[in-house]
Amino acid sequence: MQDTAIPATKRTAMTNQSQAVSADLIAVVIAVTNGEPRVLTIGKPGALPSGPFELGHRSLQSGLRAWVERQTNHPLGYVEQLYTFADRDRIGDERVQISISYLGLTREEQAERSPTHGWHGWYDYFPWEDHRAGVPPILPDILTPRLLAWADDVEDPSMRRDRRQRVAYAFGLDDRDWNEELVLQRYELLYEAALVAEAARGRDTSGAPALPGRPMIADHRRILATGIARLRTKIKYRPVVFELMPPAFTLLQLQRTVEALAGRLVHKQNFRRLIEQQDLVEETGETMSDTGGRPAKRFRFRQAVLAERAVAGTKLPLTRA
């Protein structure tokens, strides 16, 4: 595999209709730096690390680790399979593209600087997902009016009702709560309503309003949305957040990391109480003095948690928006 970009050739097979089929492994590699969740890209900000499925790999996961680390000089910690996509109409050509996606967690500071890869804030791609400072203006000012206009742009009353219900459920309208886990559902609705750049490819969009969020190649933003949704769910019942933390950290740093991933603020006292009740961390005996107040205790993840119980997460005692 080439080290600089998405490979031009891929392992292919032919269907009975003589239609090309190609299979790619695509990695959503996440780190949190200075309280901001970031995604690793290759070559340009719109491309996730990607490589061909190779039959010689011992397993898909071992193959993914090998070529991501070879491309980026970057070690992966936690890895899990996300989803397999196979949608010809979503990539803009006549191939049947099979994308086997994985979620990988790491620490950005472990990476060497390179002109072939970079880190980008995931809210650059999904600006409507960050609710830490309240409802982002892009929702009431741009997306909600356009989505409701799209919902009403059909003659069938039942279809209008169905569209409006889907918009309200995904985007927290009509007194519904915002559900931070519905990242993929929101992106798919925006795609269906042609409100993201990927849906506008091949269309004449001259004079049309600017579409929100940084686009990605092929179907990579959809795959990134899947990874964000999985991680937002996962941190509630598995201690995967500690894969993103330095070996020693303060409870405030841990809280800020959880908030960055969820796109929501959590209640400080309740959060700390949950961490203590679940016995997820242990003191290192050290303190950090550059916190702006009294020295803060430093903690580390208590590894014994993994053997003691199957369910252990950081939970989300959310504050009221």
pTM for this entry: 0.84
* Res. 293: pLDDT tops 60: yes
Mean pLDDT, range 262-285, rounded to an integer: 91
Do the two domains 12-124 and 236-308 of this chain adopt the same fold?
no
Look-up: residue for tokens 């949950």?
274
Of residues 245, 122, 103, the one with CA closest to residue 183? 122
CA angle 157, 160, 164 (to 5 degrees): 140
* Res. 295: pLDDT tops 60: yes
Domain ranges of the chain: 12-124, 129-212, 236-308
Of residues 101, 108, 105, 103, the one with CA closest to residue 86? 101
Rounded-to-10 torsion of CA 107, 132, 299, 109: 20
Exposed, middle or buried by CB within 10 Å (0-12, 13-18, 19+), for 84?
exposed
Mean pLDDT, range 27-34, rounded to an integer: 92
Mean pLDDT, range 261-272, rounded to an integer: 94
pLDDT of residue 56: 60
Under 8 Å CB-to-CB from 113, ≥6 apart: which residues?
Answer: none
305 three-state secondary structure = helix
CB 116 within 8 A of CB 3: yes
Q: How far is CA 37 from the centre of its chain?
A: 9
Report the C-alpha gap between 6 and 155 in whole angstroms. 43
* Res. 14: pLDDT tops 60: no
CB 59 within 8 A of CB 82: no
Give the residue, 117 or 11, on which the prediction is more confident.
117
Mean pLDDT, range 114-139, rounded to an integer: 91
- pLDDT tens figures, 149-188: 999 999 999 999 999 999 999 999 999 999 999 999 999 9
Instruction: Name which of 19-23, 119-123, 127-131, 281-285 the model is least confident about.
Output: 19-23
Instruction: Name which of 12-21, 236-245, 250-259 the model is least confident about.
Output: 12-21
How much of the chain exceeds pLDDT 90, in percent? 49
* Res. 266: pLDDT tops 50: yes
Under 8 Å CB-to-CB from 160, ≥6 apart: which residues?
Answer: 151, 152, 154
How much of the chain exceeds pLDDT 70, in percent? 75
Of residues 74, 82, 77, the one with CA closest to residue 118? 74
CATH class of 236-308: mainly alpha
Mean pLDDT, range 221-233, rounded to an integer: 96
Mean pLDDT, range 57-72, rounded to an integer: 71
Fold of 12-124: Nucleoside Triphosphate Pyrophosphohydrolase (3.90.79)
Average pLDDT, the chain: 82
pLDDT of residue 50: 82
215 three-state secondary structure = coil
pLDDT of residue 70: 73
pLDDT of residue 216: 94
Report the C-alpha gap between 283 and 119 in whole angstroms. 31
Report the C-alpha gap between 203 and 60 in whole angstroms. 36
pLDDT of residue 135: 96
* Res. 95: pLDDT tops 80: no
Q: How far is CA 239 from the centre of its chain?
A: 17
pLDDT of residue 318: 60
Q: What are φ and ψ of residue 101, in 5° steps?
A: -105, 150
One-character DSSP codes across 116-154: TEEEEEHHHH-GGG--BTBS-THIIIIIHHHHHHHHHSS
